[in-house]
Structure 1
């Protein structure tokens, strides 16, 4: 915006009366909100003639909240998309306008899905604004009973519980890549896991232990159900590397334990 000499306002809090008054003086026809981290007050939402429009990265009413992209992967959804909606004082609870959807790939990460959805958001927003201008936009109330909340991410969420199934853990790894990342501990050091594959195991080993080594691919950790073949990882203080490279420098054996730091 600054590069194109457009006016930019960066209030610490959008609830500040002086900022609300500034926006009122501009008399906007419509306000568009994308990935904004503050809740807009009613006094702000009532300013534009055609309302405040939000571009949300999920198929509402599923995955309202701050992290819809990551949570749909973590929860194993196969389809997601973009929704444009009128904003109200709730968190992503307003009437919907348009939707577009895409399939979630089996190797999808939070980062790759973010980039794909980003490409869809712009065209859908333009279509929405055209309909508002032409008076053809149709409001669709959300069925609140069908809503799912996607809370904000934090680093603690990424700590792996090996009692969970390999399927659940593999989805967590993909959903939290590139941030905040899924991790475990090895010899007291943080070990981030970037890529893994669900594999069958004999379940003779306790959860969180190394149960198989495949020198050309990586190593398998026993989970609550099945195992997880670790293909890409990053030890604390080191660069990201594939599982086979890690094995060449690490002293790992069947029975090595992963989990809480000593």
Structure 2
């Protein structure tokens, strides 16, 4: 039986995990990865050094041909060349994961079996760019991976397969990302083992249940201490590691990196934003009222002051960086 000719398109670590899994399973799945598509090399970090994507690094390590088109738009000369190059691979299917480049309908229809996407949510919940962040911010207790047949809409295609994953109360975007990256690799291997069958029983999405996970802005990271502690805790976890949460004390910016779960949270009558106590295990902060009209508290365990390194509660306590009664700006 001839091997399925496959093109992989993705850019960050989330996608690289699936690419590595497919490389390791080429014989098992009877596939041949003929090319890898990824974003052009970009400047990154403080030094603005030109950096290869995580996907490109995996592909080159295994001697796979890498393509990095700027566009597939027919309105641009480069886009026409990109489409011709893609067609010349004569692929049976393209697997897409966090690629970051718009794929027009003409591109989606180029592989014989179309393009399938590894999406980090249980569609139709959280279509769009930031499904992992938004799931935590919304207080979802479960998320997962959807393998979807791509169409011209934004994550609107028919669903081929789903794998669910619980969201722990300690999960950050970073930890949940890693869980879903592994789950995505498992899910796409399952589908590719019998792709025609999964396509034959594809399920349409209910647009009435859809939510859009817009890309996060840095401004969304500012903490409003008038909100209940539970909501602030989700904000801290959902914005970690990027774009991160922050507040101000006497006009000076403080990055809020980590807090403890709320299972031992205690009520308070203190004004929201007040630092009730600075201890070696945690910094107790008064927050807004809950549904019972009771003031809530949150225990912060890691902060970063402007121009400094991230500090634990113990380092802040012993260094007298904060004092009982200090107040975060509202």
Q: TM-score, normalised by structure 2?
A: 0.74
Q: Flag the 1:207–1:47 CA change in 2: closer, same or farther, 3 A.
A: same
Q: Is the 8 A contact 1:39 1:89 kept in 2?
A: no
Residue 46 of structure 1: aligned partner: 109
1:258 aligns with 2:328: yes
Which stretches of structure 1, 4 residues or longer, exceed 6 Å deviation after superposition?
Answer: none
Q: Flag the 1:245–1:18 CA change in 2: closer, same or farther, 3 A.
A: same
Q: Is the 8 A contact 1:39 1:91 kept in 2?
A: no
Q: Flag the 1:136–1:94 CA change in 2: closer, same or farther, 3 A.
A: closer
1:13 aligns with 2:79: no
Q: Which range moved further: 27-36 or 236-245?
A: 236-245
Shift in Å, 1:70? 1.1
1:221 aligns with 2:281: no
1:123 aligns with 2:123: no
Q: Is the 8 A contact 1:104 1:113 kept in 2?
A: yes
Q: Is the 8 A contact 1:128 1:137 kept in 2?
A: no
Shift in Å, 1:144? 0.6
| C-alpha RMSD of the superposition | 1.7
Q: Flag the 1:134–1:229 CA change in 2: closer, same or farther, 3 A.
A: closer
Structure 1 unaligned residues grouped into runs of 5+: none
Distance in 1 separating the partners of 2:206 and 2:277: 49
Residue 313 of structure 2: aligned partner: 243
Shift in Å, 1:135? 6.9
Distance in 2 separating the partners of 1:201 and 1:124: 43
Q: TM-score, normalised by structure 1?
A: 0.92
Shift in Å, 1:249? 1.8
1:75 aligns with 2:141: no
Deviations along 1:206-247, one digit per CA (max 9) or x if unpaired, are 22222x114232322221121111112111222222212212
Distance in 1 separating the partners of 2:199 and 2:244: 43
1:85 aligns with 2:148: yes
Task: Map residues 94-133 of structure 1 onto 2, 5 A cutoff.
Answer: 94-133=157-196
Distance in 1 separating the partners of 2:285 and 2:210: 35
Q: Is the 8 A contact 1:196 1:229 kept in 2?
A: yes
Q: Is the 8 A contact 1:191 1:235 kept in 2?
A: yes
Distance in 2 separating the partners of 1:14 and 1:247: 55
Distance in 2 separating the partners of 1:150 and 1:136: 26
Deviations along 1:130-180, one digit per CA (max 9) or x if unpaired, are 221567742100001001111112211111111211100000101111111
Q: Which range moved further: 239-248 or 72-81?
A: 239-248
Structure 2 unaligned residues grouped into runs of 5+: 1-58, 74-78, 290-295
- Matched length: 258
